[in-house]
Structure 1
Amino acid sequence: MSNASPQRYNNTAILLHWGLAILIIGLLVIGYFMPDLPKTPLRKLIYNTHKSFGLIVFALVLFRIYWRLSSVVPAHVPGSPLQVKLAHYAHIFIYALILVVPGVGLLASSFNHGFNLFVFHWEPLFPVDKELAHAIMGWHGVTAYVLAGLLALHVAAFAWHQFVKRDGLIRRIWFGVAQ
């Protein structure tokens, strides 16, 4: 048995990465447009669906963190010590924000209308305080924008590795067989 790092992430980590990427990008895009929707039953459905998928993302990222900490992962991509450190901290902040954004949204809902997980409704956890809920929701938006910015940097780093350095970084986190 070899002690060498694997060349790529395992299939569970890859599936979690890309599944979460799709969900998070969808939630960010929908979340950006939601406040401007007319107050109709469709808007309520979109908000409740957004909250439901936000909670799913929260649960999946908890599982992803567990999986990441309990699995053997590829070694850091070669680079300067500063690049390696920046990549490490960027990933930590991304994970943290993927927990904070839905957590803050759920907290805001806990002071307002309560929460729907698709068809299941939970009443507000705290006494209704719409002003506090609105203030907390402002932080939901701010943290979502920060997450979007970090994800844009993540994609830019990928593009740099893929198209400038041409080091094949994508093979580590893409489906298929290691080369």
Structure 2
Amino acid sequence: MDAAAKAGFLRFHIPVAIVVLLLTALRIVWWWRFDRKPLPLDGSPRWQERIARGVHAAFYIVILGMVASGIGLMVLSGAAPAVFGESGAVLPNFAEYPPRVPHGLGALLIVGLLIFHAGAALYHEFVRRDRLLRRMWYGG
């Protein structure tokens, strides 16, 4: 990918990241203040409840970590002028900056968490048949 394409990608990536940050912050506030946390499902082993809480917490931690490392990349690399179209500005090699490692690792973790989370939801729906998806969606 050439520098112009990378800058174009980042012009899309950064606003999406800001929206994700705002939605995540809103979700955390909602979760702490207003969410009616349902009781565990009847017959669910305690270890499954702990894993479920851990996965949800991991989502928030990884998302916030990715935002922090992304901000760190922008600040340390001085990429903003190149990303936002300043004439003659050159896009840096982000691999040279330490926040690149946690940012890339966070991306892999998010994908892994999403796969695990979706797999668990499908297990509950189609193997255990405990109507977990309906409970999540409709609060029932």
TM-score range, shorter chain: 0.7 to 0.9
Question: Residue type of the partner of 2:23?
Answer: L
Question: Residue type of the partner of 1:94?
Answer: F
Separation in structure 2 between the aligned mates of residue 159 and residue 168 of structure 1, nearest angstrom: 10
Which of 156, 165, 170 aligns to 2:133? It is: 170
* Alignment coverage as a number of residue pairs: 132
CA separation of 1:61/1:115 partners in 2, compared to 1, >3 Å: closer, same or farther?
Answer: farther
2:102 matched residue in structure 1: 139
Q: Deviations over 1:82-119 (max 9, x none)?
A: 11111111111111111111221111111113448x97
Identity %: 23
Does the CA-based 8 Å contact 2:124-2:130 persist in structure 1?
yes
Does the CA-based 8 Å contact 2:63-2:106 persist in structure 1?
no
Separation in structure 2 between the aligned mates of residue 120 and residue 60 of structure 1, nearest angstrom: 27
1:49 matched to 2:12: yes
CA-CA distance at 1:120 after TM superposition: 10
1:91 matched to 2:87: no
2:68 matched residue in structure 1: 103
1:65 matched residue in structure 2: 28
1:76 matched residue in structure 2: 40
1:31 matched residue in structure 2: none
Does the CA-based 8 Å contact 2:124-2:131 persist in structure 1?
yes
CA-CA distance at 1:42 after TM superposition: 3.4
Give me the TM-score of the superposition, normalised by structure 1. Answer: 0.64
CA RMSD of aligned residues (A): 2.7
* Between structures 1 and 2, the one with greater helix share: 2
Q: Deviations over 1:110-158 (max 9, x none)?
A: 1113448x9799xxxxxxx967853311220012111211111101101
Structure 2: tracts of 5 or more residues without a match: 87-91
Separation in structure 2 between the aligned mates of residue 120 and residue 99 of structure 1, nearest angstrom: 27
Structure 1: tracts of 5 or more residues without a match: 1-37, 122-128
Does the CA-based 8 Å contact 2:73-2:94 persist in structure 1?
no
Give the SS at the match of 2:68.
helix
Separation in structure 2 between the aligned mates of residue 59 and residue 49 of structure 1, nearest angstrom: 16
Question: Residue type of the partner of 1:107?
Answer: G
Separation in structure 1 between the aligned mates of residue 78 and residue 139 of structure 2, nearest angstrom: 48
Separation in structure 2 between the aligned mates of residue 44 and residue 59 of structure 1, nearest angstrom: 23
Separation in structure 2 between the aligned mates of residue 73 and residue 119 of structure 1, nearest angstrom: 42
Question: After superposition, where does 1:150-165 map in structure 2 within 5 Å?
Answer: 150-165=113-128
CA separation of 1:172/1:133 partners in 2, compared to 1, >3 Å: closer, same or farther?
Answer: farther
Give me the TM-score of the superposition, normalised by structure 2. Answer: 0.80
1:149 matched to 2:112: yes
Pick which of 57-66 and 107-116 moved more: 107-116
Separation in structure 2 between the aligned mates of residue 108 and residue 98 of structure 1, nearest angstrom: 15
